[in-house]
Amino acid sequence: MEKFKEIREEAFERWLSDLTRSRAPGELSDNYGESYICKWQDQLTQKGEHCSVLCSIADWLDNVSDLLDDQRYDDLTKSDSEILFRYYTRVLLIVSEIIEDFVGLHACIKGVQKKEASRELENLGSEMEVKELKWLSDFINSVCKHKSEKDNYHIHNHHLKYEFEDFGDVEHENQISLSNIDWSTVNNETTIIFKPLSYYTGICVHLYLLFNELISNEPGYKEKLFELYSKEWTSGTNES
């Protein structure tokens, strides 16, 4: 029976590689000094300035690395679905904040509402489907967050079965999924399916790389970012 170790290690390797990060065995933080986010910060450092959000994003991504580097769950199998549900939920709660971060930054830089910013990023990101960010946000809000109003998992938590594409489960009828969050027909046979772990982390990677493309190539984007979030650097260190 397949164990979670293979799934976790593959997702972690792709995460670090795609973001130009590394984490030595036994370390509890990533090294991201060669990532593009530090290179943009270096441009400001040379002028005696510092962009807060660039540092914050770089640091915050360590939260995902922490979970992907956690070996305690390696022996879990599909039969440990309740424990896996908690693990995927923690990943998704962090993913939610990362998505919100990029959407919010884009909204501020472009001077638009967050909904419009989300649509723009989906349209710019050729790997994304239209409304994919909305679907993911709705899934996280409905399944992973505890809410006591309206229809959601917290209200309908009558020991529903969890399924995982990482372990070979597939979408079918009577199921809560990324593209189907309809609690009105839920019964004791309803299942909740999670997409692959690497899918969720991959959305963050895609937005991260798209953000870099905008800073690099869209006229005025970098300048507006620095105008909004850069300040004179006055501490004793210039590390990003």
User: Is residue 237 in some structural domain?
Assistant: no
Task: Look at residue 140 and tell me if it is in a domain.
Answer: yes
Taking only the tens place, the pLDDT of each residue in 179-208 is 899 998 899 899 999 999 999 999 999 999
| pLDDT tens, residue by residue, 116-170 | 999 999 888 667 776 889 999 999 999 998 877 778 888 888 889 999 999 999 9
To the nearest 10 degrees (0 to 180), the angle between helices 197-217 and 132-139 is: 130
Enclosing domain of residue 151: 4-232
Tokens 């990533």, residue? 30
Question: Looking at residue 169, what is its pLDDT?
Answer: 96
Written as six digits, the tokens of 216 are 């690099």
Radius of gyration of the chain, Cα coordinates, nearest whole angstrom: 19
Tokens of 169: 């489960």
- Report which residue type is found at 197: L
pTM summary value: 0.92
CB within 8 A of 223, min separation 6: which ones?
Answer: none
Instruction: Look at residue 125 and tell me if it is in a domain.
Output: yes
Q: Please, are residues 3 and 77 in contact by the beta-carbon 8 Å criterion?
A: yes
What's the pLDDT tens digit per position in 210-227? 999 999 999 999 999 999
- Look at residue 239 and tell me if it is in a domain: no
> Is a pLDDT exceeding 50 seen at residue 237?
no
Q: How many domains does the chain have?
A: 1
Whether residue 236 has pLDDT greater than 60: no
Q: What is the pLDDT of residue 235?
A: 56
pLDDT at residue number 238: 44
Beta bridge partners of 127: none
Cα torsion angle, 19, 23, 29, 33, sign = negative
- Decide if 178 is inside a domain: yes
- DSSP-derived pairing of the beta strands 230-232 and 49-51: antiparallel
DSSP helix/strand/coil, 2:
coil
Q: Residue 85 has what pLDDT?
A: 97
pLDDT of the residue at 194: 98
- What is the dihedral sign for C-alpha 8, 144, 125, 63? negative
| b/e 146-175 (16+ beta carbons within 10 angstroms → b) | eeeeeebbeebeeebebbbebbebeeeeeb
Residue 240 lies in a domain: no
Q: How is 126-150 classified by DSSP, letter by letter?
A: TTSPTTHHHHHHHHIIIIIS--SSS
- The reply to whether 238 falls in a domain is no
Query: What is the per-residue pLDDT across 13-65, written as a single tens digit (0 to 9) for each?
Result: 999 999 999 999 999 999 999 999 898 888 887 778 888 899 899 999 999 99
